[in-house]
């Protein structure tokens, strides 16, 4: 018979709840105040202790668990709108399934659960951890929180600079994703218009294949531009480009710009296909 220590039960669930909250924020790219995260984890840990033991009646019912999970999401992330809250709530369950499923899988396949005296009751888990393990788990939890925070901040920054680019030329329209790139300081030497660098594959409907670009673009009625540039490993390069009929960024028309064409893949994860010159988004 396993002896259950309430303090260990509380701390283990408290740390798991923190990780679930951080995981939820990372999935949804939403930041939360540290004290809201701790308060949410505290409420969840107290509830886990209350329902771990049998005879709790409605407190351990599925309806109560759903309501408590909604409270935890509300405490951690607030309520901005119903659609936003429902997305956060769904992500909370996704993070819970990821952590819970991973924990159960590790315990089952390695036999670690048996050695640690793992007990499951009313959907809650108890691990009979020595205090040095509890301390190590707390340190590990902190490291994972930093990891999640770094991922979330990167995503927040990326989403903040992400835009929808729409190019109009010769009756054709192409829409693709783009980001504001402070490293893109290219301007057309003739007109002084800022240059938007776009992957060739995103422009296939407008631009011919790479060989003999310039000749073919001219015969297609594209107003061709040659844009000098420098990059790592290539100090003096020439980028082909064209003057579009119209360009919109997030639905807002850009008064004048040039579309530069690159053979390179701009994003390994294909999250975007164009680099906006910051001058094109200045209000």
Q: Which CATH number fits domain 162-280: 2.40.70, 2.70.98, 2.50.20, 3.30.70?
A: 2.40.70
What pLDDT sits at residue 100?
66
Mean pLDDT for the chain? 75
- Distance CA(192)–CA(257), nearest Å, equals 9
Q: Looking at the DSSP assignment, which residues form a beta bridge with residue 199?
A: 262
Cα–Cα distance list, 167 to 141, 177, 222 (Å): 47, 11, 13
What average pLDDT score do residues 260-278 get? 83
CB-neighbour burial class of residue 35 (10 A; exposed 0-12, middle 13-18, buried 19+):
exposed
Question: What residues contact 260, with CB distance under 8 A and at least 6 apart?
Answer: 186, 195, 196, 197, 198, 225, 227, 229, 239, 240, 241
Task: Give counts: helices (H), strands (E), the chain.
Answer: 7, 11
Convert the pLDDT of each residue in 40-71 to its tens digit.
989 988 888 787 666 666 666 788 888 999 99
Could you tell me if 207 and 200 are in contact, meaning their C-beta atoms sit under 8 angstroms apart?
A: yes
Share of the chain above pLDDT 70, in %: 63
User: 174 by DSSP, 3-state: which?
Assistant: strand
- Model pTM above 0.75: no
Domain residue spans of the chain: 6-129, 162-280
């Amino acid at each position: 018979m396993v002896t259950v220590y309430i303090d260990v039960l509380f701390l283990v669930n408290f740390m798991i709840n923190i990780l679930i909250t951080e995981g939820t924020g990372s999935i949804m790219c939403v930041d939360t105040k540290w004290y809201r995260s701790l308060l949410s984890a505290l409420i969840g840990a107290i509830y886990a202790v209350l329902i771990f033991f049998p005879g709790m009646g409605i407190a351990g019912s599925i309806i109560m668990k759903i309501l408590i999970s909604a409270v935890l999401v509300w405490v951690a992330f607030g309520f901005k709108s119903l659609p936003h809250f429902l997305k956060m709530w769904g992500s909370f369950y996704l993070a819970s399934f990821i952590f819970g499923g991973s924990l159960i899988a590790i315990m089952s396949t390695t036999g670690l659960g048996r050695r640690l005296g793992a007990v499951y009751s009313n959907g809650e888990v108890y691990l009979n951890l020595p205090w040095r393990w509890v301390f190590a788990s707390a340190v590990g939890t902190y490291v994972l929180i930093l990891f999640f925070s770094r991922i979330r901040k990167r995503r927040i920054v990326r989403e903040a600079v992400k835009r929808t680019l729409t190019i109009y030329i010769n009756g054709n329209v192409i829409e693709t994703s783009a980001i504001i790139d402070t490293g893109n300081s290219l301007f057309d030497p003739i007109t002084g218009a800022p240059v938007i660098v776009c992957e060739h594959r995103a422009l296939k409907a407008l631009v011919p294949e790479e060989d003999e670009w310039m000749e073919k673009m001219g015969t297609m009625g594209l107003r061709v531009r040659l844009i000098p540039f420098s990059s790592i490993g290539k100090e003096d390069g020439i980028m082909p480009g064209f003057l579009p009929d119209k360009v919109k960024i997030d639905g807002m028309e850009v008064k004048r710009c040039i579309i530069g064409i690159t053979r390179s893949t701009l994003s390994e994860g294909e999250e975007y296909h164009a680099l906006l010159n910051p001058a094109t988004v200045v209000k």
